[in-house]
């Protein structure tokens, strides 16, 4: 099959949020720490009415409805998540309650987990399936979803929640570039969830940032090597019209784009570095591994790559800055943000680089090319018009005071894994079409309804 890629994309974000400026005051930290220091505006939050199943039910059902896809047209459905509520039963199997009543049960795929990378792994599996002998001509549906919550402390403002569903098949408007994908995987304890009774991760903050940046270096270098051979040209940031990143918080992404700029500088022969990048002349002898927390280099590359950041990356940060880290769905929320930031005609023909990172660690750099056809009636045009509603939804969310947010977190913490359980959270704020948890019975079975 030709032009395998994303035919449709849909996103779900929580209807409630806490304002990061309010949170700064409530937490008693200095003004600007979360808004400027982390680059975050707001954080999407879930009460005990929502869990990983409800988020996924919502996003899948909405995609199928908005794009008029029949249940029988899906041949593979796979979920990437690190929000584990059952050690055996997959979220995919829960989603089958949407398909089963329509006689659609011949559907491959199951859940995939490794921190924020599971969604990308699911996506790669879906692409492989479409390109394989097992493919039956139907679509694959990839779901990336998470509820990101941290224990009280410095990491708490970097939470968030969300779900993205992507319909994968041939002749797509967003086509994955073949033969250039690069992978970097290692064994590290930077962020992990060893306590199965808690929703919260164990985080080594500094190490997690270092691992993220070093994985970015490695993946980008391998990508550039592969792409330069394949396309027979020099590959640097100029090759991409947009570069999207997994986004734990927006400030890290600005630093990451700057990091790629530093890599471009590094990939130039040593004696030419100062000529090509006069502002970075002082850093000609740089050793990348020594620079993850080097303030001087960081400042210089941030300033030197500012225009590139504004042009290639900043448009992809709308949802991340308003909702926070959506873990597996974060990178794909970036893609949605990019798609709503421009007209279809402005997106046509553009190349997008994507960096996916999951602690532990698993990471990848890959790219896609947007179809040149943005005419009315084209798949690209339809995709951007369907996504028009995202900005409205962002604006229609309800703000919650930090006190209330803390209360919701306490309830989630106390009720985690309890059965039987009747959720206490209100259902009034939900957007139409949202699934929510009605109850958990004494056998831990979960039941949902739709607004």
214 is in an annotated binding site: no
| Residue 267 makes contact with ligand ACO by CB under 6 A | no
| Residue 117 makes contact with ligand ACO by CB under 6 A | no
**Site track 61-100 with ligand ACO (rule: CB under 6 A), x = hit:** ----------------------------------------
Query: 30 or 232: whose CB is closer to ligand ACO?
Result: 30
| Interface residue with ligand ACO, options 21, 22, 26, 37 (CB under 6 A) | 37
Q: Is 238 helix (H, G, I), strand (E, B) or coil?
A: helix
Q: Find tokens 């919260």 and name the residue.
A: 200
| Residue 426 makes contact with ligand ACO by CB under 6 A | no
Judged by CB under 6 A, the number of residues near ligand ACO is 22
Residue 76's nearest CA partner among 102, 119, 105, 107 is 107
Q: Is 408 helix (H, G, I), strand (E, B) or coil?
A: helix
Query: 69 or 188: whose CB is closer to ligand ACO?
Result: 188
| Residue 158 makes contact with ligand ACO by CB under 6 A | yes
Q: Which stretch binds ligand ACO (CB under 6 A): 178-186, 200-208, 280-288, 436-444?
A: 200-208
CA dihedral in degrees (205, 207, 213, 219; nearest 10)? -120
- 24 has catalytic annotation: no
208 is in an annotated binding site: yes
Shortest Å, Cβ 25 to ligand ACO: 12
Any idea what DSSP says for residue 38? Answer: S
Find the helix or strand (DSSP H, E) in which 61 lies.
helix 52-66
| Residue 32 makes contact with ligand ACO by CB under 6 A | yes
Find the helix or strand (DSSP H, E) in which 185 lies.
strand 182-185
- Cα angle vertex 71, ends 2, 383, to 5°? 55
- Helix 330-341 with 379-386: angle, nearest 10 deg: 100
Which whole-number Å values give the CA distances from 165 to 79, 80, 120, 184, 332, in the listed order? Answer: 9, 10, 12, 25, 9
| Residue 404 makes contact with ligand ACO by CB under 6 A | no
- 219 has catalytic annotation: no
198 is in an annotated binding site: no
- 82 has catalytic annotation: yes
| Residue 212 makes contact with ligand ACO by CB under 6 A | yes
| Interface residue with ligand ACO, options 97, 128, 205, 396 (CB under 6 A) | 205
Query: 114 or 314: whose CB is closer to ligand ACO?
Result: 114
Quote the radius of gyration of the chain (alpha carbons, Å). 21
Quick one: tokens of 140? Answer: 């694959």
The alpha carbon dihedral of 223, 226, 229, 232 has a sign of negative
- How far apart (Å, rounded) are the C-alpha atoms in residues 445 and 155? 32
- How far apart (Å, rounded) are the C-alpha atoms in residues 422 and 424? 6
Shortest Å, Cβ 1 to ligand ACO: 33
Of 184, 246, 261, 381, which is the active-site residue?
246
| Interface residue with ligand ACO, options 359, 371, 384, 434 (CB under 6 A) | 359
Shortest Å, Cβ 290 to ligand ACO: 17
| Interface residue with ligand ACO, options 25, 36, 134, 417 (CB under 6 A) | 36
- How far apart (Å, rounded) are the C-alpha atoms in residues 365 and 354? 6
Do residues 9 and 335 lie in contact, with contact meaning Cβ atoms separated by under 8 Å?
yes
Q: What are 11's strand-pairing partners?
A: 164
Of 24, 50, 78, 82, which is the active-site residue?
82
Instruction: Tell me which residues are annotated as active site.
Output: 82, 116, 246
User: Which residues here bind ligand ACO, judged by CB under 6 A?
Assistant: 30-33, 36-38, 116, 154-155, 158, 191, 203, 205, 208-209, 212, 248-249, 251-252, 359
Q: Which residues are annotated as a binding site?
A: 208, 251, 255
């Amino acid at each position: 099959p030709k032009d395998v890629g994303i035919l449709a994309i849909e996103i779900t974000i929580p209807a409630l949020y806490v304002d990061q400026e309010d949170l700064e005051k409530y937490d008693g930290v200095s003004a600007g720490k979360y808004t400027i220091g982390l680059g975050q505006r707001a954080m999407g939050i879930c009460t005990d009415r929502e869990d990983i199943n409800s988020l996924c039910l919502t996003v899948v059902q909405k995609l199928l409805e908005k794009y008029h896809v029949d249940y029988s047209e899906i041949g593979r459905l796979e979920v990437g998540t690190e929000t584990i509520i059952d050690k055996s039963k997959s979220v995919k199997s829960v989603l089958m309650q949407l398909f089963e009543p329509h006689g659609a049960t011949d559907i491959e795929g199951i859940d995939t987990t490794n921190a924020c990378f599971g969604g990308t792994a699911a996506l790669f599996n879906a692409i492989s399936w479409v390109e394989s002998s097992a493919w039956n001509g139907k679509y694959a549906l990839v779901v990336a979803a998470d509820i990101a919550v941290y224990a009280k402390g410095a990491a708490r403002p970097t939470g968030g929640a969300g779900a993205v569903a992507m319909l994968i098949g041939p002749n797509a408007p967003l086509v994955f570039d073949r033969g250039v994908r690069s992978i970097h995987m290692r064994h590290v304890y930077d962020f992990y969830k060893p306590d199965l009774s808690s929703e919260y991760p164990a985080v080594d903050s500094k190490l997690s940032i270092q691992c993220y940046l070093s994985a970015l270096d490695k993946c980008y270098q391998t990508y550039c090597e592969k792409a330069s051979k394949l396309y027979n040209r020099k590959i640097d940031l100029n090759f991409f019209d947009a570069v999207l990143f997994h986004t734990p918080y927006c400030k890290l992404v600005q630093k990451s784009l700057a990091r790629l700029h530093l890599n471009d500088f590094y990939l130039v022969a040593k004696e030419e570095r100062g000529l090509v990048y006069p502002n970075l002349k002082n850093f000609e002898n740089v050793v990348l591994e020594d620079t993850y927390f080097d303030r001087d280099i960081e400042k210089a590359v941030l300033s030197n790559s500012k225009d590139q950041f504004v042009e290639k990356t900043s448009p992809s940060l709308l949802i991340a800055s308003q909702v926070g880290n959506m873990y597996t769905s974060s990178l794909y929320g970036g893609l949605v943000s990019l798609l709503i930031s421009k007209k279809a005609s402005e997106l046509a023909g553009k190349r997008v680089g994507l960096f996916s990172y999951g602690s532990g660690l698993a990471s990848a750099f890959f790219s896609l090319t947007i179809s040149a056809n943005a005419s009315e009636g084209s798949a690209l045009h339809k995709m951007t018009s369907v996504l028009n509603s995202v900005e409205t939804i962002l604006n229609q969310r309800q703000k919650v005071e930090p006190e209330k947010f803390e209360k919701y977190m306490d309830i989630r913490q106390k009720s985690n894994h309890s059965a039987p359980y009747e959720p206490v959270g209100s259902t009034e704020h939900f957007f139409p079409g949202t699934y929510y948890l009605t109850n958990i019975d004494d056998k831990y079975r979960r039941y949902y309804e739709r607004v």
